[in-house]
A and B are shown apart, each in its own frame.
Chain A
């Protein structure tokens, strides 16, 4: 369970990225953060594990305020927060196994991690996770030899290696093709359910958000402007979050005898009948 209370972030440049955000995420729940570029989505999820220091406000994870922790307490909390990135954020020159094991760094002493002496249960866990995400054949490959989708799966395995209770996901599909995007999203959702995690996903693709999240949060200019079930997400809501736009997908078929009304579909029914 995570509670965000009146969270504000002002960058040194004077830009106010977050203007008092309130939010609750329960265990076993997937919420999607959507909103235009620059709305503060990335800043918001980075404030949760303090990769970005919030200016004011509270982030409570199971009742514990993250913002008031000192460095070593923060490291302890971060162990429990997995993170998945848009550009996968793997260390290219390390192997897939090393990348996955790096998820255990918070649990491992410095010298042991320096000489890659991870406990054998960590190694079996890493192997099991790589098998789960379908990469058991690539254990010893270098991370930069993999395709985008494979790299994101390594990123997912690394995040789960941490035994997290909360998963922060920053634009997981923005660099992937439509099919791989869906596979990666499905994998994330399945794993969230298997491990009963709370999960916050920043995502540009509203169709994917509607398809995979239970709840949608609309962020605009650093403020929450919409909160609701993903089933309730329609073109009116999109206009509220993103501003005025023609959300209909029209067939540009001038020969067609059908009336315009019949051809007009909104983007959510795209691909359906």
Chain B
């Protein structure tokens, strides 16, 4: 709120009375909306089941323990498949994204029309979940690792390209000018001006995406993509809860390991 003169004394307030009133009304509307929504959620819930939940959890846990140690013999090869899926899926996505990002970034795109096409591809990839990509691709190329690798690649492509091209657009332009001024060719300008600035972001993004993909590829097997998800699915179907626990423990260990690697790489880059 601008300064107000009151009895020859200048006063300053953050907001005008009108702004204060608007804010109060908006807050009130929000509170009412939450209360109304809650009453609907409550009406749709069978509260008897919720009350029963603690006993169910206890029952579950008692069936899970102790985990099936022998099952790890089957888990380890499946885990290897899962890691393969995540590494190759991420790898394909990163290589393709490198070129897509150059075509999509405002400052390196050859033509606005090309940019539009690439942006559409990026949005399409991002808007569909990897499980759904996997379901489609299993139909197309048959069940197995290859379908999963493609699903992970297609799904990652969008996010990785987006982060890549944003990095290209936010580049420091002065070194680019300087390299251009030496009479360098376009490719040389890219290698000397752009690439050194982009490489840390590119590698950081790739590793971060790989970490996400480890998680995604653990469940992707449920729809027939192979890997540890397949084992999880069959264990649940057999109601073999001690096997389920073994699988979950392995997934947890893998994810923690992936996060550790990813954190180390990104720390080394900075």
- Which residue numbers of A lie inside 8 Å of B, CB to CB? 49, 51, 75-83, 85, 87-94, 98, 102-108, 110, 113-114, 155, 158, 162, 168
Contact = CB atoms under 8 A, between A and B. Distances in A.
B163 to A, nearest CB: 19
Interface of B: 172, 174-175, 177-185, 187-188, 191-193, 196-197, 199-200
Contacts of B197: 91-93
Contacts of B174: 85, 87-89
A102 B192 contact: yes
B181 A105 contact: no
A83 B180 CA distance: 10
14 contacts: A78-B182, A83-B181, A85-B177, A85-B178, A92-B172, A92-B175, A92-B197, A102-B179, A102-B182, A102-B192, A105-B183, A106-B184, A114-B191, A162-B182
A75 B196 contact: no
B196 A92 contact: yes
B196 A113 contact: no
Contacts of B183: 75-80, 105-107, 162
A78 B175 contact: no
Contacts of B175: 89-92
Contact of B193 (A78, A91, A107): A91
B214 to A, nearest CB: 29
A64 to B, nearest CB: 15
A93 B185 CA distance: 20
Given A49-B181, A93-B196, A102-B182, 15 more contacts: A75-B185, A78-B180, A78-B182, A83-B181, A85-B174, A89-B175, A91-B179, A92-B196, A92-B197, A108-B188, A110-B188, A113-B188, A113-B191, A114-B191, A162-B182
Closest 10 CB pairs of A and B: A106-B183, A105-B184, A89-B178, A78-B183, A79-B183, A89-B174, A83-B181, A93-B196, A75-B183, A91-B175
A93 B171 CA distance: 13
Nearest to B194: A91
Given A105-B179, A105-B183, A93 B199 contact: yes
Q: Which secondary structure dominates chain B's binding surface?
A: helix
Contacts of B196: 91-94
Given A89-B174, A113-B191, A114-B191, A102 B181 contact: no
A107 B188 CA distance: 11
A38 to B, nearest CB: 19
B168 to A, nearest CB: 15
A105 B187 contact: no
Contacts of B188: 105, 108, 110, 113
A12 to B, nearest CB: 15
Contacts of B172: 92
A93 B200 contact: yes
Nearest to B187: A110
Nearest to B173: A89
Contacts of A93: 196-197, 199-200
Contacts of A51: 177, 180-181
Contacts of A49: 181
A20 to B, nearest CB: 25
Nearest to A84: B178
Contacts of A158: 178, 182
A113 B192 contact: yes
